[in-house]
Homo-oligomer: A and B are copies of this chain.
Amino acid sequence: MLKYLFCLKISSEKMFDKEHIAKIVMIGAGNVGTHLGKALRQAGLEIMQVYSRDPGKAKVLALELESTPCHKLSEIFPTADLYVLAVHDDAIGEVSRTLKKVAFHEQLFVHTSGATPLDVICQKRRGVLYPLQTFTVGREPDFREIPICLDAAFDQDLQMLTYLAKRISHKVFHLTDEQRSVVHVAAVFANNFSNHMFHIAKDILDQEGLPFALLEPLIKETAGKLEQGNPKEMQTGPAIRRDDETIDRHLAYLKNLPRYRAIYELLTKSIQQT
C-alpha cells in the first residue's frame, strides 16, 4: 500500500534537471510555513514571496527567507513554480478558490495538512506536502528526519514534489488521501493524546506542590525506548501487571479528580484488553 519514494530519486533528478521546482510562494507564515519555508530556503530554493494576511508576520518571515512580503491575495506573484498553502485547514479551500478567481489556473498548488483531502484545492495541478511533525516557535527541528507525505493529482507533479521533498528530508512517502487521514488519526493518539497524559501528570504533581522535573527523565525515556522495541512490548505498570491493589489505591486517590479518574479507568481497561 505504501511506497517509499527513494527509488524515484535518480530518475526524478534526470527528468527534472531543467524543469524542477525552483521558485516558491509561501502562503501562510505560521508554524508550518515558517519551518518549512526555512528548510526550503536552506536547501537553496528561492522563496519568491511570503503571504500572510497579517502584514507583520509576512514581513518577519520574508526577511528570514530573503523574500518579499505580501498581505493581499490579489498581489501574489503568478510566476512561481509552486504555491504552498500553509494555512489553517479550513482556509485552504477558500484561499485556493480566491486565487483561482484572479488568475491561478495552471500553477501547482499544494497544502500542508494531514487532515485535509487533496481535492479541497480547486486548481487542476494540486498536491499535498505534509510534514509529519509538531512545530513550535523557537525550536529548530531537524528537517532531514521529518517524514514528508506527498500526493498529487498528476504523476509528473508528484515526481517534481518528490524531488523537492528529498532536498529537505530523507524520509519521503507517497500517501493517498485515505492513507494520510489514517496517519493523521494515529498522530492524534501519538502526539495530542500523549501530550494530554503529560499535562495530567503535571497537573497532579502541581496540586501537591511537587515539581514536574521528577517526571521529565521518565517521559524522555518512554519516547526513547521506542527506538528499541514496539510500544506493546514496552508496556509496564499496574494495569498490564493486573496489580489491582495499586490500581484501587490510585482510583481512590483520584476520586476528587473525576475527569482523570474516568481516563484512568478507561485506559487501564484498554491496556488489559490489549
Cα distance A267–B199 when bound, in Å?
A: 12
A74 contacts the other chain (CB 8 A): no
Q: Majority SS of interface residues in chain A?
A: helix
Task: Point out the residues of chain B lying under 8 angstroms from A267, CB to CB.
Answer: 192-193, 196, 263
Q: Which residues of chain B come closer than 8 Å to A274, judged between CB atoms?
A: 196, 199
B218–A205 contact, CB under 8 A?
A: no
- How many angstroms from the CA of A190 to the CA of B264 in the assembled complex? 12
Query: In the docked arrangement, what's the CA distance between A135 and B178, Å?
Result: 38
- Is A139 touching B218 in the complex (CB atoms < 8 A)? no
Whole-angstrom distance between the Cβ of A257 and the nearest chain B Cβ: 10
Residues in B with CB closer than 8 Å to A215 are 132, 183, 186-187, 190
Contact A1 B210 (CB under 8 A): yes
Contact assessment for B196 and A132 in the assembled complex, using a CB-CB cutoff below 8 Å: no
Closest-CB distance, A43 to chain B (whole angstroms):
18
Interface size on A, residues (CB 8 A): 94
Bound CA–CA A213/B183 (angstroms): 11
Contact: A223 with B225, CB < 8 Å?
no
Q: Which of A19-27, A47-55, A76-84, A231-239 contacts B (4 or more CB under 8 A)?
A: A231-239
Cβ A205 vs Cβ B183 within 8 A = yes
B218→A182 contact, CB < 8 A: no
Query: Chain A interface (Cβ within 8 Å of chain B)?
Result: 1-2, 89-90, 115, 132-134, 136, 138-139, 141, 145-147, 149, 171, 173, 175, 179, 181-202, 204-205, 208-232, 234-240, 243, 245-246, 249-250, 253-254, 259-260, 262-264, 266-267, 270-271, 273-274
Sample of 8 more A-B contacts, CB < 8 Å, known A1-B210, A134-B236, A189-B264: A190-B198, A192-B271, A194-B197, A199-B230, A200-B270, A202-B232, A222-B223, A263-B270
